Amino acid sequence: GALSLTHGASDRMPFADATFDRVFCINVVYFWDDPAAHLREVRRVLRPGGTFTAVLRRKTSMENLPFAAHGFTMYEQADWEVVLQRNGFAPVSTTVIQEPGVEYEGKKYRPESLVMVAGFA
């Protein structure tokens, strides 16, 4: 099949209910002022049995990065699991990825990302 891209906001997706088997986001959840609103939309567009995958860097990997000091809500695995559960999702699996070292403003960082898959509770 062909890939189709649609520009929009994740708290107001322009798709019918139960459209997708999977919803995926990467490095997005830090910027959700109201995670519940976005997760309601994710649930709405997922088909029964569908999964939501969020990839996010761990709080301990982000908190020392200067650019993350403003406008980021950071999470550890347990924090994001609580957000998911409060919004009707059940964690399915989490994979921790040790990323290659990066240098930012003369300092070296070894960020870790979480690949967190959840389904309906």
pLDDT tens for 89-115 read 999 999 999 999 888 888 888 899 999
Domain of 75, CATH number, reads 3.40.50.150
Domain annotation covers residue 58:
yes
Listing DSSP states for 16-74 in one string gives -TT-EEEEEEES-GGG-S-HHHHHHHHHHHEEEEEEEEEEEEBHHHHTT-GGGGSS---
Which domain range does residue 89 map to? Answer: 20-120
| 59-78 tens-digit pLDDT | 999 988 888 889 999 999 99
20 has a pLDDT exceeding 90: yes
Domain annotation covers residue 9:
no
- Does the predicted TM-score (pTM) go above 0.75? yes
Contact status, residue 13 vs residue 41, Cβ threshold 8 Å = yes
Structural domains of the chain, count: 1
Domain annotation covers residue 68:
yes
Q: What is the CA radius of gyration of the chain?
A: 15
